[in-house]
Structure 1
Amino acid sequence: MSDRYPKNTMTRNSKPPDLELYLKGVPFHLHIETLAKKSAKLTTLLECNKIDELRWILKDIDVDPTTFFLVVSFCYGYNIHLSSENIISVLCTAYLLEMNDDHSSSNLLNKAVTFLEQRVLISWNETVKSLAVCSDKILDKVDDVGLTEVFLDSLLEKALKDPRLLEDLITLPLRLYEPLIQECSKHSVTTDNLVASVCIYAKRWVFEKDSGDESVSRSKRQVLEAVERLLSHQRGAVSSRFLFKSLKESMFLDASSDCRKGFEDRISKQLDMATSKDLMMLLPNKVGAYDINLLKTLLKSFYSNYNVSDVSRFVSVARMLEEFLLDAAASDAGLSVETFKALGEITVAASCDVLRYSDGTYRAIDVFLERRDRDLTETEKMEVCRVLDCKKLSPEACEHASKNEKLPFRIVLQVLFFAQKQIQAKVARDMKSVEEKDDDDDDIEDMNKKLLRLDIESDYREIENLECVVHHCSKKKEEKKISVWREVKRKFGCMTSLTVDACNCHIKKRKKTYHHHY
């Protein structure tokens, strides 16, 4: 007998032991008759002379030595200590050995069931603790006994009262965790609580667990596929960071196509909410290796979800891609010209007709050339710069590019040419705005002259009122213009039923048009 177990186990039976068992290397020397008094199963085996089958029965449910020692101790009349950690294993062993009250009063199976009901199922923490230590074979037996539904109902009842408890389920086996979350989703548990629980569970069993061997990888793959099934498809319900990380892990673990597509669909719905850092997570550890097709798939799906009215989302994606191109150029010294060009073309396509300037693309090109300048030929530099649209560079970017010695000479000439075009266009706009301003001043002056030349035949009060208006408006230039216009309008018969605001509408309209042309 191992030193871990009491040496007086056999003292209550003076006969020498007639049964020797080894469980996971631990020896047990027992008396068959003593065990048979509590176990109907052993009684049957003894009567049929098949006692050797006992070791196969115990092996079938993967009973650990500590649990079996408790069962044996009970058979020998010792008091045993039941706990949340051992109750399920003890109960399943007692059930397998048919240690019920029909065979012997106050038997172990009845004691285990009572303990489960009164000490475990009433508590969320104790229930979770008892399930967390169960092996797959024990859980198989829990299914056979019919206890799985009992455990799930107990947890569901408590989770519905306080959904925050769901975050404590990281130790629960997947075969119990998934159906519990599915049941919670059918009830009043909010999406936020469900997503928080699933993300924590994935972090524990997928992202933090080392893939030491094939069995671990297989377990991680099963968990990740379940996580994808459990996550909400609602836009924004799951963080982009988590979705990108999960998609990368699904590729690494060779998860099912449904699993990978599920993460891709969720990402594409909220691609405008992602950041460059999120997109960078998809880049494999191999230097210079980029999945261009994956990026195109995500973008194609994103654009298919929205229309032209969602321009703000298109702008967000375009800017994110520019930042991603810059980060990729800065972080990967092994990035090839072909790959950079492919990423650049995608970036330019996303920003076309969405962003006014393509300065982000230019910055990425500048960084790429900075890191690879000595390794690139003039032809390769030209290939890199082909994605740059010089017409969409801001004046500041044009100024920088015109002095950038890393750029091919032909690109610099193009920049200078379009910079000159920009200057000419700006001068033309400025001249037009000055002319419009002069036209406005001339109109006012002409109307003043016409007013002075009018043959006023009204009574003296009208003349006095007009003089007062002119005198008052000479103190404030803006008020003078409005008053003069009002008097002219009245003289021309336009003031009969109009308000002051209505008389100002023409001036406001001209100002608005002036600003628009500028």
Structure 2
Amino acid sequence: MATKHVASSSRISTSKFPKDLCLRVCGQPFMLNSNIIASKSAKLDKLLKENHVEDVPRLLGDIRADPNTFMIVARFCYGYEINITTENVIRVCCVADYLEMTDSHSLNNLLLKAITFFKEDVIPFWDSSVIALKSAENVFQQVLHLGLIDALFESIIEKVLADPCLLGKPIKCMTFDAYGEKYDDPYRPNARRRLFGSNLISEDLATLSVQLYELMIHDMILHQVPLEYVAASLCQYVENWVSAASQVEGDISFARWMSQRAAIEAVERLLPHERGLVPCNLLFEMLQFSIALEATTDCRNGFEVRIGKQLDQATVNDLLIPCFGYAREQEYDTDCIRRILKHFYSNLSSPYNSSRLKVAELVEKYLAEVASDVNLKKSTFVSLAEMAFAASIKTQRLSDGLYRAISIYLDNHTYLTEYEKEDVCKLLDCSKMSPEACEHAATNKRLPLRIVVNVLFVHQLHLRDTFLKEVSSSDDGLVKPLEEEILKGVGRSSKDRSMVEMERMNCKVQELEKECSALKKELCGASGSRLKRDKGAVWIKMKRKFRCISTTQDHDNCHMKKIKVHPK
């Protein structure tokens, strides 16, 4: 640590001079000799010449300095050896300037000696510059006019431009799938492990107060310091001042809460908007801090916008933002996710790219997670489902994910009416469901009857297609007679065949809907202890009617029955 020993040109015997001057420093009294102090301080010399010594303390007031620093100044006035260090040089300059301890009043005075030490032993070195800047936090306004703060800023920025790694190594964004599993990529190290390490050094800029740090980073951005290094420093600042402080046991004091909120708001103002500078999971953490600390709306919105630009890098766990506050109506903050989704869609460069499909899958899995919340409103669920559905339009993506979320929601919201269930299921495209999903849906008693009818019909088509493929692989000669049997009476042109097939399918759906309506009335007519038994029997009857299951007697012929739709 840089230290300079300074001694006065002559020793003064303090015993020969009475202590007739009482000065107060932060409320602490210092008994001094007026003549000795006046010999070095032009300010006190003027006051003593114009006023009685007993009136000087009242006129001078409370000196704005810490007692330890003033003790150094007093020792210098008495001719004792003093230590000027990197930690105290700024504060010594502040007191010496306030008392006007300049060379115009006394040669080799304290202010010039302190400034000389500052220029020779602080400015040239990174560690010394950061430590000196940190020591100026409490006297920032008093020392600002001396130009020392500007000199420190220029020195630090110059060193960062020469070596940006002084701010920390850039954070590489991790690549995750929707389940939270990262892709194998040797060039993308674990950002959290590197960023949130505990081996910090005191000379790190992230240890500065919010006021000094914000000014410093702002100047760095103006001087075009590479943004990836700026982002690394900002993430470390959040870890130092917000995340680490939040993990302290016990209640957080109001002062600490305010400092945390000021820190997260400053980071949001400084954080660049470019995509990929900060991993998406860290942006979500910052957003949760801003919500929990009740930061400004602009702060929270700023994080949401940045997340929206790289939402395809998020995982389901990132999206599970808990609702804060005592009067929360649901477990997760779905309104926040909806806003983020809107920001994502507004930033898409093309309507159907890989990012859109990743987010569609992500939202479906998010829906499945939040669907179990019994307090989740139907309108909120439907709104999120619409966003997921919009991303899958005109793609080959299956609707299994959406069906799974709907099934979980209906299982946990049994109070919904038949009409409300149909509203929840309105986005479900049964034609895009896999055979496995159709098989599950066919026996799902939570689904409304209209959806079950559509699922059963689609399931029948799946069974027919599966059977045709099996027959085709075993005996190619059998396929043509079967196809001719199914398409009998249809014209030769492909257009006519398609029209007839569509008309036949529509008729089948109408027939199934009529039969289901009759079954529904039969269910409604059941009463008392028979209701539960009859309901199960009707479901079995309906599934057997639509050939989802078969009796023991016709088990061997069930496949052929499903194929012969148009008998000769």
**TM-score scaled to structure 1, two decimals?**
0.71
1:52 counterpart residue number:
57
How far is 1:16 from its partner? 4.2
Q: Deviations over 1:33-61 (max 9, x none)?
A: 22111111111121232512565351xx4
Q: Which moved more, 1:109-118 or 1:178-187?
A: 178-187
Q: Point out the structure with max Rg over C-alpha.
A: 1
How far is 1:318 from its partner? 0.1
How far is 1:189 from its partner? 3.5
Cα 1:289–1:194 change in 2 (3 A) is same
Identity %: 41
Give the match's secondary structure for 1:82: strand
**Partner amino acid for 1:351?**
S
Structure 2 matches for 1:203-222, cutoff 5 A?
A: 203-210=239-246, 212=252, 215-222=255-262
How far is 1:96 from its partner? 0.9
Residues matched between the structures, number: 423
Q: Deviations over 1:133-166 (max 9, x none)?
A: 3334x11122111112100111112112221112
Structure 2 matches for 1:2-41, cutoff 5 A?
A: 12-41=14-43
Give the match's secondary structure for 2:155: helix
Give the match's secondary structure for 2:462: helix
Mapped contact 1:181–1:194 kept (Cα < 8 A): yes
1:105 counterpart residue number:
107
How far is 1:316 from its partner? 0.7
2:530 counterpart residue number:
none
Structure 2 matches for 1:479-490, cutoff 5 A?
A: none
- Structure 2 CA distance for aligned equivalents of residues 333 and 382 of structure 1: 18
Structure 2 matches for 1:451-490, cutoff 5 A?
A: none
Structure 2 matches for 1:319-330, cutoff 5 A?
A: 319-330=361-372
1:344 counterpart residue number:
385
Structure 2 matches for 1:54-453, cutoff 5 A?
A: 56=61, 58=63, 61=64, 63-136=65-138, 138-167=139-168, 168-187=204-223, 189-210=225-246, 212=252, 215-281=255-321, 283-284=323-324, 286=328, 288=330, 292-308=334-350, 310-330=352-372, 332=373, 334-354=375-395, 356-369=397-410, 372=412, 376=415, 379=418, 384-386=424-426, 388-404=428-444, 407=447, 411-426=451-466
Mapped contact 2:24–2:62 kept (Cα < 8 A): no
- Structure 1 CA distance for aligned equivalents of residues 59 and 108 of structure 2: 23
How far is 1:413 from its partner? 4.6
Cα 1:425–1:356 change in 2 (3 A) is farther
- Structure 1 CA distance for aligned equivalents of residues 479 and 378 of structure 2: 52
How far is 1:118 from its partner? 2.4
**Partner amino acid for 1:97?**
L
How far is 1:197 from its partner? 0.9
Cα 1:44–1:242 change in 2 (3 A) is same
**Partner amino acid for 1:184?**
M
Mapped contact 1:42–1:54 kept (Cα < 8 A): no
- Structure 2 CA distance for aligned equivalents of residues 130 and 115 of structure 1: 12
- Structure 2 CA distance for aligned equivalents of residues 72 and 368 of structure 1: 75
How far is 1:23 from its partner? 3.4
- Structure 2 CA distance for aligned equivalents of residues 436 and 146 of structure 1: 95
**Partner amino acid for 1:56?**
G
How far is 1:128 from its partner? 1.0
Q: Which moved more, 1:360-369 or 1:115-124?
A: 360-369
Q: Which moved more, 1:286-295 or 1:306-315?
A: 286-295
- Structure 1 CA distance for aligned equivalents of residues 30 and 294 of structure 2: 45
- Structure 1 CA distance for aligned equivalents of residues 323 and 152 of structure 2: 42
Give the match's secondary structure for 1:27: strand
- Structure 2 CA distance for aligned equivalents of residues 294 and 351 of structure 1: 22
**Partner amino acid for 1:51?**
V
How far is 1:405 from its partner? 5.3
**Partner amino acid for 1:125?**
D
Cα 1:345–1:283 change in 2 (3 A) is farther
Mapped contact 1:225–1:255 kept (Cα < 8 A): yes
- Structure 2 CA distance for aligned equivalents of residues 376 and 23 of structure 1: 71
Q: Deviations over 1:369-417 (max 9, x none)?
A: 55x36x6456566665555443332111222333445556665454323
Q: Which runs of 5+ in 2 are unaligned?
A: 1-11, 169-203, 482-568
Q: Which runs of 5+ in 1 are unaligned?
A: 1-9, 440-518
**TM-score scaled to structure 2, two decimals?**
0.66
Mapped contact 2:24–2:57 kept (Cα < 8 A): no
- Structure 2 CA distance for aligned equivalents of residues 150 and 359 of structure 1: 63
Q: Which moved more, 1:428-437 or 1:343-352?
A: 428-437
Mapped contact 2:25–2:62 kept (Cα < 8 A): no
Cα 1:74–1:152 change in 2 (3 A) is same
- Structure 2 CA distance for aligned equivalents of residues 164 and 72 of structure 1: 42
Structure with larger RCO (C-alpha < 8 A, sep 6+)? 2
Mapped contact 2:72–2:82 kept (Cα < 8 A): yes
How far is 1:424 from its partner? 3.3
RMSD value, Cα: 3.4
Cα 1:300–1:340 change in 2 (3 A) is closer
Cα 1:437–1:231 change in 2 (3 A) is farther
**Partner amino acid for 1:88?**
I
Give the match's secondary structure for 2:22: strand
Q: Deviations over 1:433-460 (max 9, x none)?
A: 9589989xxxxxxxxxxxxxxxxxxxxx
How far is 1:289 from its partner? 5.6
- Structure 2 CA distance for aligned equivalents of residues 55 and 402 of structure 1: 90
Give the match's secondary structure for 1:28: strand
- Structure 1 CA distance for aligned equivalents of residues 106 and 357 of structure 2: 77
Cα 1:355–1:334 change in 2 (3 A) is farther
Cα 1:53–1:119 change in 2 (3 A) is farther
Give the match's secondary structure for 2:152: helix
- Structure 1 CA distance for aligned equivalents of residues 236 and 281 of structure 2: 14
Normalized per residue, the structure richer in helix is: 1
**Partner amino acid for 1:352?**
I
Cα 1:91–1:186 change in 2 (3 A) is same
